Amino acid sequence: MDTKDFLSELVNTPGISGYEESISLKVSRVFERYCDEVRTDAFYNVYGKMTDQVGEGMPKVMLAAHIDEIGLMVKEVCEDGFLRFVSVGGVDQRILPGLEVIVHGKENLLGIIGAKPPHLQIGDEAKKALEMKDMAIDVGFSGEKLKGVINVGDPITFKSPLTTLNGTIVCGKALDDRAGAAILLETMKQLKELRFEAEVYFVATVQEEIGTRGAIISTFRVMPDIGIAIDVTHGDMPDAPKEETFSMDKGPVIAIGPNMHPGLTKKLMDIAKEHGIEYLVEVEAGPTGTDARAIQISRSGVPTVLVQLPLKYMHTTVETINIETVKKAGMLLARFISSMKEGWREWMNY
């Protein structure tokens, strides 16, 4: 399946943290085309297993990218038909006024997060950020009509399909981390063309945005020898400090720091250099805000690396990435896995 098409489908499929059933099914169907075996657990984590050469002493490798997205949830259905809501995951309230959303009740309803026009604002009102607790979603129905259709707890997603801006630069909501899922697909495709001596699990995790929860339970289940977390990092934005953002076209970003195994990370960088794959380095001083945080300390510990895609405007509905980088990351990871031969354990010595 074409990676951009896969990404587009994922972006259009709802799946806020805790409500990933639909997207999990979509991912699992695509994984089935490339993996030997695909399973889904009770929390909708998807596990796609791939092997090539089988034998004793081969490493079990787990790649993880999360398929949940940030969103909103109905807190109260007001009598007048307006919906009050809470956020699920880290939603910047400033993106909300004027946004189109989809409320997933017994039916899917289109909603607008209302914004008071400038004409009606008084005094200093315009100078303060609007707070989520004061906002409401207008679905165009009266309270009566909504009874039984929309309930407290119904998930709400942002409406923002994948849009091509320019060449390989695309934008949309939830590219954090559906683009990571696309990297899983790319890796699968590239790995199919190579020989490898490992038991590889491609895991599409759930509930990362609310505390890497899917990664906690899936890593416990898989018990990998090596963990590879795939997520996004900040692409360079006009209003962000240069030292904290990364170029959109210099390849994937490999993380270093206490959450990543130094020996394993170095090996990954060596493979990149060997195959002429450009990459950047990000230094993370503590446990990262990704599945790597959970994977590293599962059971007896899992040496972990973290590969990231530069993404601009994270946690907005206009997240922007470079599809080229998705492909480069896939190439890098496939080569990395393919390089694991006898003696792989030594990479993880201290």
194 binds another protein (CB under 8 A): no
Pick the stretch among 13-21, 24-32, 100-108, 161-169 that binds another protein (CB under 8 A).
Answer: 13-21
Pick from 180, 166, 162: nearest CA to 317: 162
Q: Where are the beta strands (DSSP E) in the chain?
A: 37-40, 46-50, 60-66, 71-77, 82-88, 100-104, 108-113, 137-138, 155-158, 163-166, 169-172, 199-205, 226-234, 253-256, 280-283, 304-311, 319-322
Whole-number Å distance between alpha carbons of 317 and 102: 13
Instruction: Report, in Å, the least distance between residue 71 CB and another protein.
Output: 12
Rounded CA-CA distance 269/278 in Å is: 10
Closest to another protein by CB, 122 or 285: 285
Region of 51-59, 106-114, 192-200, 300-308 interacting with another protein (CB under 8 A): 300-308
Handedness of CA 9, 13, 15, 20 (dihedral sign): negative
Q: Is 156 in the site for another protein (CB under 8 A)?
A: no
Nearest to another protein of 187, 207 (CB atom): 207
Q: Does residue 82 interact with another protein by CB under 8 A?
A: no
* Contact between residue 309 and residue 282 where contact means Cβ atoms under 8 Å apart: no
> Looking only at residues 122 through 141 of this chain, which bind another protein when binding is defined by CB under 8 A?
133
Question: Which residue in 9, 41, 138, 324 binds another protein (CB under 8 A)?
Answer: 41
Q: Which of 3, 4, 39, 43 binds another protein (CB under 8 A)?
A: 43
Of 39, 75, 159, 250, the one binding another protein (CB under 8 A) is 75
Binding mask 212-251 for another protein (x = CB under 8 A): -x--xxx-xx---------------------x--------
By the 8 A CB rule, do 160 and 317 touch? yes
- Minimum gap (Å) between residue 198 Cβ and another protein: 17
Binding mask 200-219 toward another protein (x if CB under 8 A, else -) reads -------x--x--x--xxx-
Nearer to another protein, 4 or 266 (CB): 266
Among 150, 200, 302, 337, binds another protein (CB under 8 A): 302
Shortest approach of another protein to residue 168 CB, angstroms? Answer: 27
Render 82-133 in DSSP notation, one character per residue. Answer: EEEEEEES---GGG-TT-EEEEESSSEEEEEE----GGG--GGGGGSPPPGG
Q: Which residues pair with 129 in a beta bridge?
A: none
Residues 6+ apart with CB under 8 A from 122: none
**84 sits near another protein (criterion: CB under 8 A):** yes
- CA angle (50 as vertex; 185, 218 as ends), nearest 5: 80
Q: Which stretch binds another protein (CB under 8 A): 148-156, 231-239, 270-278, 334-342?
A: 148-156
